[in-house]
Amino acid sequence: MRHFNGLTDSDLKTFFKHSPAEFNRDTERDTLSLALGAALYTPGSRVDFAQKILTGDYNNGVFAGLTTLIVCLEDAVADTELKQAEKNTVGEFKKLEQANAEQLIAGPALFLRVRTPEQLDQLVKNAGTALSVLTGIVFPKCSPVTLPSFFEALDRASEVAGRMLYALPLLETKEVLYSESREQTLSELYSIMQSQAERILTVRVGATDFSSLYGLRRPAERTIYDVHVIRDCLMAILNRFGRAEDGFTVSGPVYEHFSSGERLWLSSKPEETLWEEVQLDILNGFKGKTCIHPSQISIVNAGHIVTLEAYEDAKLILNESSKRNGVLQSAKRNKMNEVKPHLSWAKKIAAQAEVYGVLNENYQPIDVLNHIRASQVSNQY
């Protein structure tokens, strides 16, 4: 896999000084956690997701650029349809298990979102070694009580799958949101996750569930940061899990609005707001984002491309860090680079640049985004 795989070699040379690197589900954890990017959900009741993976449908058209697909057996599936969705999911995994390795590697990294540890155990019994097609399991509604049980179930799933499956804990409960319980809950969750850090690919957050606890829903023209009670909770989560020394990657919350995408990017209010929210996500320390529609994929991923100016500053700091500290003049002569306080930032930028690429001078991420959309529109005619 590689981000922006829909671009031609000529496009890559035009826009990128350093093209995005290839990766797969066996890439080392720190890089893979950044590479997840726009993570698209699909319900476990979808009868053709295995075929779409194997035929490359998830690599082309509106899905171009997708590197992370999450099969959901939780909120995306009605309670009355759950048994059939579980049966369908197991059957689709078995189809994927029978495919050749090249087909699986070419497709997006596959994850499963379950409801409970008990459900995961039942799926282990029914799917058996077919769970080997997965990269990890999303743990919903994590609490200090349920999280250890999820990790125990993950151990059993990994043993049957014959490979280590990553954990993607999802924080979305009232104990995390409500201020009177937040600090204690996050402290307990942090303690558990720190002991399991090498098995955690990303920490995820559920802004929709948080909003529902107050009966709130943001309109299309507002980012989640405009909903202050949710914003405060997101900042508390980043304060606990976003610290440079811990090495956790925290993924941004879903934006539930989308448009038909018949025009250039940012020509509709949902696309404009999502683009703004992605910038705020990255500014505050989130990496990647949960998506609910394929039109969101390119917007999220393009927001993570590194500009040449940021990359040059980061490399300057990294190159000098082993020799000296103090203040360095930036290549653009427009900012102060301090080796000690900016070193953690520089390391993160260098890692992000490897996965998402570095632009040529005079290009911005929005230029790549508009080119991708223009190509998609032209291919419709």
Q: What is the DSSP string of 313-356?
A: HHHHHHHHHTT--SEEE-TTSSSEEEHHHHHHHHHHHHHHHHHH
**What pLDDT shows up at residue 207?**
93
Tokens representing residue 363 in the block? 């290009």
18 phi, psi to nearest 5 deg? -130, 115
For residue 136, list its beta bridge partners.
111, 166
**What pLDDT shows up at residue 381?**
52
Question: Nearest to residue 36, comparing CAs of 250, 345, 207, 228?
Answer: 250
The distance of Cα 287 from the centroid of its chain, to the nearest Å, equals: 7
Number of H helices, E strands in the chain: 16, 11
**What pLDDT shows up at residue 331?**
77
Tokens representing residue 10 in the block? 């000529």
| Cα dist from 120 to 84, 87, 156, 205, whole Å | 15, 13, 9, 20
What residues contact 7, with CB distance under 8 A and at least 6 apart? 15, 368, 371, 372
**What pLDDT shows up at residue 62?**
84
189 phi, psi to nearest 5 deg? -65, -40
Amino acid symbol at 373 = R
Taking the C-alpha atoms of residue 375 and residue 149, their distance in angstroms, rounded to an integer, is 47
Query: Cα-atom radius of gyration of the chain, to the nearest Å?
Result: 21
Residue-wise pLDDT for 291-340, tens only, equals 999 989 999 999 999 999 999 999 999 998 877 777 877 777 788 888 88
Tokens representing residue 66 in the block? 């997708």
DSSP label at residue 236: H
70 phi, psi to nearest 5 deg? -115, 115
| Residues 268/295, Cβ–Cβ less than 8 Å | no
pLDDT tens per residue, the chain (381 residues)? 999 988 999 999 999 999 999 999 999 999 999 999 999 999 999 999 999 999 999 988 889 899 999 999 999 999 999 999 999 999 999 999 999 888 888 889 999 999 999 999 999 999 999 999 999 999 999 999 999 999 999 999 999 999 999 999 999 999 999 999 999 999 999 999 999 999 999 999 999 999 999 999 999 999 999 999 999 999 999 999 999 999 999 999 999 988 765 555 556 888 999 999 999 999 999 999 999 999 899 999 999 999 999 999 999 999 988 777 778 777 777 888 888 889 999 999 999 999 999 999 999 999 999 999 888 776 655
The whole-model pTM stands at 0.94
Measured between alpha carbons, how far apart are the two ends of the chain, in Å? Answer: 28
For residue 109, list its beta bridge partners.
68
Residue recorded with tokens 């000690």: 340
| Residues 57/315, Cβ–Cβ less than 8 Å | no
Taking the C-alpha atoms of residue 292 and residue 295, their distance in angstroms, rounded to an integer, is 9
**What pLDDT shows up at residue 51?**
94
| Residues 132/163, Cβ–Cβ less than 8 Å | yes
**What pLDDT shows up at residue 245?**
92
